[in-house]
Amino acid sequence: MDCIFCKIVSGEIPSVKVYEDDRVFAFMDINPINEGHLLIVPKAHAATIHEIAEADFLAVMSATHKLAAAVKKALNPDGINLLQLNGKAANQVVPHLHVHIVPRWFGDGVTVSQWELVAGDMEKIQGVAERVRGEMGK
């Protein structure tokens, strides 16, 4: 399969590795949006949250938890953004599931988590909640 992150996991494409276990591989992002920007991926290829096996996703999240603690100790950021994009509409560029850890500092100018708060229409919010609850019950 012609997948950049599968090739990074196998070592065919070099990367700056920070962590590895049976299910998970983590490495520094080559285009960091802030110091310490890194990526956590499952070793088994899965394009998005909809394809990944639950056990692999939990392993990715467990590694993310450990790596966030390590980043906190190593770099002492004021905060950390976790980002995980699914699908082109969500701006996912590499179709192999990954979690971004982005360390944040006050005044760093990174705009990734800034959006305007606009009050929603409560009827619409209730309607959407009803549809999601309906699917959860199946």
The set of catalytic residues is 98
Residues of this chain, 75-104, that bind ligand 5GP according to CB under 6 A: 85, 91-94
Q: Is 29 in the site for ligand 5GP (CB under 6 A)?
A: yes
Burial (CB count <10 Å: 0-12, 13-18, 19+), residue 43? middle
How many residues of this chain bind Zn ion (CB under 5 A)? Answer: 5
Q: φ and ψ at 103, to 5 degrees?
A: -65, 145
Question: Which of residues 10, 11, 20, 30 is near ligand 5GP by CB under 6 A?
Answer: 30
CB of 24 to ligand 5GP, least distance (A): 15
d(CA 5, CA 12): 10
Binding site for Zn ion (CB under 5 A): 3, 5-6, 45, 96
